[in-house]
């Protein structure tokens, strides 16, 4: 069984799952880091759950959860974003509404405090799906979204990480902290969102999987919703989140089986590392990865909630939990 978790059982009124990417083995040993990341994920899941509990929309819930994670410097999104090879931030985000397959995404943002809000604005206030670079920054500013200086986004940790990578003192891509959220609201609609700073030492202009609909983010209320994290280039090549959905819709696989197939037979087959969170119309939740350290939290209206970090991973074992409720 791959590392991760599955929750099934009676269909709840609403369901939320969030992720915070992966902790590297070094950071997984730091108690304060694990605690802060866990607390932020739990807060994000609760914030989304509170909105859904009062019949709020999936868009509001996903946006609220992701903003909390973007503001937490432990994750590679918003504040704490990974740095480009020249020490800048270029942030990507996407949100998709499964009800009508409407989607909004941004790539290469440099000044927007909460990129997920810019992605939502593209969906709701433009006729496009994806804006990138200067135009995306300008659009977000015109929409009145809060701006921030480079110094807000850049943390010492990410500056040190960039330096270490450039001096080849650490293995590449060992800290993947993209954030994501997928919800099923009380009206039965599924919404998914993802936000990231990308990968450290990326070339300026590089765009990952997160803002690409069907790669890092996808939602179709009839089938499933998903958000990915890991080495984006591989998730793009296998159209990971859309493939998950297609396997369920066209092959009739359940969420768990489809997830196993995407990760084992597609992602691992091309040499990619990472994982995904997903849920289906019945409120079944899955978090699964082919490397240890996936940070996630889940919450449902029926009271089911799941710890945010696989403790077996924290103690260095490459083994996964598998909750069946």
Within 8-37, the residues that bind ligand ASP by CB under 6 A are 21
- Which span (34-42, 100-108, 205-213, 265-273) binds ligand ASP, by CB under 6 A? 205-213
**DSSP secondary structure, 136-203, as one string:** HHHHHHHTTPPB--HHHH--HHHHHHHHHHHTT-S-TT-----EEEEEE-TTS-EEEEEEE---TTBP
Residue 95's nearest CA partner among 16, 181, 197 is 181
- Which span (102-110, 136-144, 163-171, 208-216) binds ligand ASP, by CB under 6 A? 208-216
Q: In the structure, how many helices (H) and strands (E) does the chain have?
A: 11, 13
Is residue 108 at the binding interface for ligand ASP, with CB under 6 A as the rule?
no
Q: Which neighbouring-strand residues pair with 259? A: none
Is residue 230 at the binding interface for ligand ASP, with CB under 6 A as the rule?
yes
Is residue 57 at the binding interface for ligand ASP, with CB under 6 A as the rule?
no
Exposure string for 155-167, b = 16+ CB within 10 A, e = fewer: beebeebbeebee
Residue 262's nearest CA partner among 292, 230, 294 is 230
Q: Is residue 110 annotated as a catalytic residue, yes or no?
A: no
Return the number of the residue (68 or 304) whose C-beta is nearest ligand ASP. Answer: 68
Is residue 209 at the binding interface for ligand ASP, with CB under 6 A as the rule?
yes
CA distance 237 to 266: 9
Return the number of the residue (208 or 281) whose C-beta is nearest ligand ASP. Answer: 208
Within 122-181, the residues that bind ligand ASP by CB under 6 A are 176-178
Q: Could you give the 3-state DSSP secondary structure of residue 66?
A: helix
Is residue 199 at the binding interface for ligand ASP, with CB under 6 A as the rule?
yes
Among 74, 221, 229, 308, binds ligand ASP (CB under 6 A): 229
Q: What are phi and psi of 164, to 5 degrees?
A: -60, -40
- Which span (11-19, 185-193, 209-217, 293-301) binds ligand ASP, by CB under 6 A? 209-217
Q: How many binding residues for ligand ASP (CB under 6 A)?
A: 16
CA distance 177 to 19: 9
Least Å from the CB of residue 296 to ligand ASP: 13
**How many C-beta neighbours within 10 Å does residue 21 have?**
27
Least Å from the CB of residue 100 to ligand ASP: 26
Among 198, 225, 283, 293, binds ligand ASP (CB under 6 A): 198
For strand 224-230 and strand 179-184, is the pairing parallel, antiparallel, or unpaired?
unpaired
Among 63, 76, 137, 310, binds ligand ASP (CB under 6 A): 76
- Which span (146-154, 206-214, 241-249, 317-325) binds ligand ASP, by CB under 6 A? 206-214
Q: Which of 84, 110, 178, 217 is catalytic?
A: 178
Is residue 232 at the binding interface for ligand ASP, with CB under 6 A as the rule?
yes
Is 249 within 8 Å of 265 (Cβ atoms)?
A: no
User: Where along the sequence are the contacts to ligand ASP (CB under 6 A)?
Assistant: 21, 76, 176-178, 196, 198-199, 208-210, 216, 229-232
- Residues carrying an active site annotation: 178
């Amino acid at each position: 069984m791959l590392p991760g978790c599955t929750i099934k059982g009676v269909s709840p009124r609403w369901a939320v799952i969030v992720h915070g990417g992966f902790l590297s083995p070094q950071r997984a040993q730091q108690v304060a880091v694990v605690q802060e990341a866990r607390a932020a994920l739990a807060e994000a899941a609760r914030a989304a759950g509170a909105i859904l509990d009062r019949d709020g929309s999936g868009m509001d819930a996903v946006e609220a959860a992701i903003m909390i994670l973007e503001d937490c410097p432990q994750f590679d999104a918003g504040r704490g974003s990974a740095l480009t090879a020249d020490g800048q931030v270029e942030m990507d985000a996407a949100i998709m509404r499964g009800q009508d397959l409407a989607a909004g995404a941004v790539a290469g943002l440099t000044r927007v405090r909460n990129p997920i809000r810019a992605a939502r604005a593209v969906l709701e206030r433009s006729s496009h799906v994806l804006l990138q670079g200067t135009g995306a920054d300008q659009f977000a500013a015109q929409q009145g979204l809060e701006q921030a200086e480079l110094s807000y986004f850049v943390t010492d940790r990410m500056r040190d990480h960039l330096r270490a990578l450039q001096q080849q003192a650490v293995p590449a891509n060992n800290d993947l902290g993209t954030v994501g959220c997928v919800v099923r609201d009380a009206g039965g609609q599924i919404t998914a969102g993802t936000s990231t700073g990308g990968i450290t030492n990326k070339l300026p202009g590089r765009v990952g999987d997160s803002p690409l609909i069907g790669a890092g983010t996808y939602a179709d209320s009839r089938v499933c919703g998903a958000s990915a994290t890991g080495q984006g280039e591989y998730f793009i090549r296998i159209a990971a989140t859309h493939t998950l959905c297609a396997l369920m819709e066209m092959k009739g696989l359940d969420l768990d089986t489809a997830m196993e197939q995407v990760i084992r037979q597609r992602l691992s087959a091309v040499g990619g590392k990472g994982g995904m969170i997903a849920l289906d119309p019945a409120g079944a939740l899955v978090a699964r990865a082919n490397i240890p350290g996936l940070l996630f939290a889940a919450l449902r209206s029926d009271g089911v909630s799941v710890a945010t970090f696989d403790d077996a991973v924290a103690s260095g074992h490459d083994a996964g939990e598998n909750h069946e409720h």
